Copies of this chain bind each other. A is one copy, B any other.
Amino acid sequence: MTKQMHTIEESTKVFKALADPIRLKIIGYLNQLDHEVSCGEVGQVMGISKTSGSYHFKILQEAGLITAHKIAREKYVALDRSTFDQYLTHFWQNL
Protein backbone atom coordinates (compact mmCIF):
# COMPACT_ATOMS: atom_id res chain seq x y z
CA MET A 1 0.00 0.00 0.00
CA THR A 2 2.88 2.37 0.80
CA LYS A 3 4.72 4.11 -2.01
CA GLN A 4 7.65 2.02 -3.27
CA MET A 5 10.88 3.51 -4.63
CA HIS A 6 13.16 1.37 -6.76
CA THR A 7 16.84 1.69 -7.51
CA ILE A 8 18.03 1.73 -11.10
CA GLU A 9 19.70 -1.66 -10.42
CA GLU A 10 16.45 -3.26 -9.28
CA SER A 11 14.54 -1.87 -12.25
CA THR A 12 17.27 -3.01 -14.63
CA LYS A 13 17.06 -6.52 -13.21
CA VAL A 14 13.29 -6.65 -13.74
CA PHE A 15 13.46 -5.32 -17.31
CA LYS A 16 16.33 -7.68 -18.17
CA ALA A 17 14.15 -10.55 -16.95
CA LEU A 18 11.35 -9.37 -19.23
CA ALA A 19 13.69 -8.83 -22.20
CA ASP A 20 13.66 -12.36 -23.55
CA PRO A 21 11.11 -14.08 -25.80
CA ILE A 22 11.11 -17.38 -23.89
CA ARG A 23 10.53 -15.65 -20.58
CA LEU A 24 7.74 -13.52 -22.03
CA LYS A 25 6.07 -16.69 -23.31
CA ILE A 26 6.44 -18.30 -19.87
CA ILE A 27 4.79 -15.24 -18.36
CA GLY A 28 1.97 -15.41 -20.89
CA TYR A 29 1.42 -19.07 -20.09
CA LEU A 30 1.40 -18.54 -16.32
CA ASN A 31 -0.94 -15.60 -16.78
CA GLN A 32 -3.62 -17.53 -18.66
CA LEU A 33 -3.50 -20.39 -16.17
CA ASP A 34 -3.61 -18.38 -12.99
CA HIS A 35 -2.64 -21.26 -10.74
CA GLU A 36 0.63 -22.90 -9.76
CA VAL A 37 2.31 -25.26 -12.24
CA SER A 38 5.50 -27.26 -12.17
CA CYS A 39 8.61 -26.02 -13.99
CA GLY A 40 8.62 -29.28 -15.92
CA GLU A 41 5.15 -28.69 -17.31
CA VAL A 42 5.99 -25.16 -18.38
CA GLY A 43 9.27 -26.26 -19.93
CA GLN A 44 7.50 -28.94 -21.99
CA VAL A 45 4.90 -26.49 -23.25
CA MET A 46 7.66 -24.03 -24.20
CA GLY A 47 9.68 -26.77 -25.89
CA ILE A 48 12.92 -26.05 -24.03
CA SER A 49 15.41 -28.28 -22.25
CA LYS A 50 15.21 -28.65 -18.50
CA THR A 51 18.58 -26.92 -18.11
CA SER A 52 17.38 -23.95 -20.09
CA GLY A 53 14.14 -23.92 -18.12
CA SER A 54 16.02 -23.95 -14.85
CA TYR A 55 18.08 -20.98 -16.01
CA HIS A 56 15.05 -18.92 -17.09
CA PHE A 57 13.05 -19.65 -13.93
CA LYS A 58 16.02 -18.50 -11.86
CA ILE A 59 16.17 -15.20 -13.73
CA LEU A 60 12.42 -14.65 -13.26
CA GLN A 61 12.60 -15.58 -9.60
CA GLU A 62 15.57 -13.32 -8.83
CA ALA A 63 13.72 -10.45 -10.46
CA GLY A 64 10.75 -11.17 -8.19
CA LEU A 65 8.44 -11.82 -11.12
CA ILE A 66 7.52 -15.34 -10.01
CA THR A 67 7.17 -17.09 -6.69
CA ALA A 68 8.24 -20.71 -6.34
CA HIS A 69 8.08 -23.47 -3.81
CA LYS A 70 9.20 -27.04 -3.89
CA ILE A 71 6.89 -29.95 -3.17
CA ALA A 72 8.92 -33.12 -3.04
CA ARG A 73 10.70 -33.48 -6.40
CA GLU A 74 8.80 -30.72 -8.09
CA LYS A 75 9.06 -26.95 -8.12
CA TYR A 76 5.83 -25.04 -8.55
CA VAL A 77 5.80 -21.51 -9.90
CA ALA A 78 3.26 -18.72 -10.26
CA LEU A 79 3.39 -15.07 -11.25
CA ASP A 80 4.00 -12.50 -8.53
CA ARG A 81 1.62 -9.86 -9.82
CA SER A 82 2.66 -7.26 -7.27
CA THR A 83 6.07 -6.99 -8.91
CA PHE A 84 4.52 -6.49 -12.34
CA ASP A 85 2.29 -3.83 -10.87
CA GLN A 86 5.14 -1.98 -9.20
CA TYR A 87 7.48 -1.94 -12.19
CA LEU A 88 5.09 -1.95 -15.14
CA THR A 89 1.61 -0.70 -14.44
CA HIS A 90 2.98 1.95 -12.04
CA PHE A 91 6.09 2.64 -14.08
CA TRP A 92 5.87 6.44 -14.02
CA GLN A 93 5.43 6.57 -10.26
CA ASN A 94 8.79 4.92 -9.74
CA LEU A 95 11.10 6.73 -12.05
Given the complex of chains A and B, what is the CA–CA distance between A19 and B92 in angstroms? 16
B8:A25 contact, CB within 8 angstroms: yes
Contact of A19 among B12, B24, B28 (CB under 8 A): B12
Known contacts being A20-B12, A25-B8, is A84 close to B91, with CB within 8 Å?
yes
A12 near B8 with CB under 8 A, answer: no
Q: Which single residue of chain B is at the shortest CB-CB distance from A32?
A: B95
User: Of B24, B32, B90, B92, which is within 8 A of A11 by CB?
Assistant: B24
A89: contacting residue among B16, B27, B31, B89, CB under 8 A: B89
- Taken together as a complex, chains A and B put the C-alpha atoms of A1 and B24 apart, in Å, by 25
A15 to B17, CA, bound (A): 9
Q: Show 10 A/B contacts (Cβ-Cβ < 8 Å), sorted by A.
A: A12-B19, A15-B15, A15-B18, A18-B18, A19-B19, A27-B95, A31-B92, A88-B91, A89-B89, A89-B92
